[in-house]
Amino acid sequence: MCVTGQTQGKIFTSLAPMRGLTTRHFMDMLYDCGEPDEYVSEFLRVHPTATIPSNIIDLIENRKSMVGLSIQLLGKEPEHFSRIAKMLQNYKIKSINLNCGCPMPKIGRKGVGGTLLTELNTIDDIISMISDNTNIPISVKTRIGYKSPREFAVILSHLARHKLSAVYVHARTVKGMYSEPVDFEYITIAKAALDCPVIANGDIKTAQEAANIIEKTNANGIMIGRAAISNPWIFRQINELANKTKIFAPTGEDYFNFIEKLQSFAHKLVLTDFQKTSSVKKYVIPIADFVDPSGDFPYRIRRATTLKDLTNMCKNFFVKK
């Protein structure tokens, strides 16, 4: 596995999965902006009747990129993980990524995602079931505890029992959702406890932050999610900083062209104009929040109801007359 941290002018980067956002189309757009070293798919829900859905097959077979793709699985029944893993052996993927970190209450109520951190023996059984029945590498996405970081040492002791290709650590608790302060000290703790690569995750917004975290924690790489929506050139910028070359600064026109590509995809969807507008706004609102902290542009974007209005708002903001 080519996870190396910051060596020879390189920081390993991974795109974190975000439901409804990290689609094949978005990954294809990152291919043109400067892509990460790895993509992790949106989660595939594992249950008694689960199969590999068409969007995952499309992602595996039709994306532009040649970099590694890990398929994230979310569930709690070890025997069904084994069945899905055997199906995935028919496809070219980098690893199976076990979701032990999703903090969303509607996910947690089903006993999956971050709730698995309260059932560590189940995590052991899932990993063992996959490894005993397939030859696909297994990675784990985790938080530092369910309620408290004091749980992290026990979590790590369970993960250390297995041969894992990587552990991705979002340095918050599950109950901390996305508002709790991120504490990257726990990345250093994970590095000391595990033999596999440890990838740091949690509110990393800039290339400089990524480099600082690598230097501070000796992490083997960086996983970025929401920052890649608001700044799709962030992976390129991380590489440029590591290589000590000029860091790309996107212009308003770059952003406008990116948004136009989003809209060109939306036009192909069999949806009403309002639904198409909503699908594009999921990407444009984070961009607006990022480029205009004053809040005026994001305010207007949130109120756009047609693609035409959205285009005009973006053109007026980004393209100089």
Kindly list the catalytic residues. 102
Instruction: Give the orientation angle of helix 120-133 with respect to helix 152-159, to 10 degrees.
Output: 20
C-alpha separations of 296 from 29, 124, 228, 263, 300 in Å: 27, 49, 22, 22, 6
Q: Which residues on adjacent β-strands are paired with residue 39? A: 15, 69
Distance from C-alpha of 289 to C-alpha of 317, rounded to nearest angstrom: 13
Instruction: Give the orientation angle of helix 24-33 with respect to helix 54-62, to 10 degrees.
Output: 30
Distance from C-alpha of 220 to C-alpha of 222, rounded to nearest angstrom: 7
Alpha carbon 261 to its chain's center: 21
Residue keyed to tokens 């390129």? 236
Distance from C-alpha of 42 to C-alpha of 68, rounded to nearest angstrom: 14
Task: Locate 243 and state its tokens.
Answer: 């290589």
Task: Indicate the Cα dihedral angle 113, 94, 178, 84, nearest 10°.
Answer: -20
Q: Whose CA is closest to 237, among 27, 31, 36?
A: 36
- Whether the Cβ atoms of residue 65 and residue 35 lie closer than 8 Å to each other: yes
Distance from C-alpha of 166 to C-alpha of 95, rounded to nearest angstrom: 9
The radius of gyration computed from the CA coordinates of the chain, to the nearest angstrom, equals 20
Q: Where are the alpha helices (DSSP H) in 76-233?
A: 78-88, 105-108, 120-133, 152-159, 185-193, 207-217, 226-230
